[in-house]
Amino acid sequence: MTPSWSWLALMGLGAFHGLNPAMGWLFAVALGLQRRALSAVWWSLIPIAIGHAIAVGLVVILIDLLRLFVAIRPMQIAAAVVLIAFGVYRLLARHRARVGMQVSACDLALWSLLMATAHGAGLMLLPVLLQMPLGTEAHHHAHMAAITGIGSSLLVGSLAVTVHTIAMLLTAGIIAVVVYEWVGLAFLRKGWINLDLLWVVALIGAGIALLVMALLTRP
């Protein structure tokens, strides 16, 4: 995967996450309808995006640290197994979140963090993150090389999280406003596809693709 395609993939995954009502736009619309204000929809999306960014950022940091000590190929295989296993778990498990409507910005951010983590939002980025220069290579033993690599990795990782989160926020924002202003929530009963199942397929498919790529790549 070329660097340009990696960034496009991050944006695409951000848009996909924003499309999923479980990632926040449905909650934003509900708050807007309850308070009868479009401003409540926009306000709620900000902490939701922050919580999502934290969930993704934790995965980026973990990958960055592991790449200091572990070669890429074993990490790809391990990540593929995690993606497939988590996809199967999501397929078999049923999660029900019960949340009140009187919430603060911190409550929304925490809820978004937990939802993104439970849905494996950060895990889905693993195939892309493992192709990006997020950390120093294991064979860089020189002190200055390590410092330079870590500094570069922080910049690339921060940009990755920012690009992904902006795409997620824009997508969720557009959908939330359209649903609030014109469509309404009734369409979810008849016209909405099963995004949870699509999410499972994407997780397992990404894991299989990453596993095949890792096994076919020469060490």
Report for 46-60, 62-76, 174-188: range of highest mean pLDDT: 46-60
How would you classify residue 163: left for phi > 0, otherwise alpha for psi between -120 and 50, otherwise beta? alpha
146 pLDDT band (50/70/90 cuts)?
very low
Structural contact between residues 138 and 71, judged by C-beta atoms closer than 8 angstroms: yes
User: Which backbone phi and psi does 67 adopt, to 5 degrees?
Assistant: -70, -15
46 pLDDT band (50/70/90 cuts)?
very high
How many distinct structural domains can be found in the chain? 1
* Averaged pLDDT score across all residues of the chain: 79
**Mean pLDDT, residues 3-17 taken together:** 88
Torsion of CA 50, 91, 81, 17, to 10 degrees: -30
Q: Residue 127: which of 29, 1, 20 has the closest Cα?
A: 1
Q: Which residue has the tokens 């593929």?
A: 80
**Mean pLDDT, residues 138-149 taken together:** 42
Q: Write the secondary structure of 188-216 as one string of H (helix), E (strand) and C (coil).
A: HHHCCCCHHHHHHHHHHHHHHHHHHHHHH
Q: Residue 52: which of 162, 165, 163 has the closest Cα?
A: 165
Please tell me whether the overall predicted TM-score, pTM, comes out greater than 0.85 for this model: no
What's the CA gap between 199 and 96, in Å, rounded? Answer: 16
Of 188 and 51, the one with more pLDDT: 51
Report for 53-67, 100-114, 176-190: range of highest mean pLDDT: 53-67
Q: Residue 129: which of 64, 85, 186 has the closest Cα?
A: 64
Q: Which domain holds residue 97?
A: 3-216
Of 171 and 87, the one with more pLDDT: 171
pLDDT value of position 213:
83
Torsion of CA 104, 106, 107, 110, to 10 degrees: 160
Of 151 and 76, the one with more pLDDT: 76
Q: Which residue has the tokens 């795409």?
A: 167
pLDDT value at 3 more than 50 = yes
pLDDT value at 81 more than 70 = yes
**Mean pLDDT, residues 79-106 taken together:** 73
pLDDT value at 195 more than 70 = no
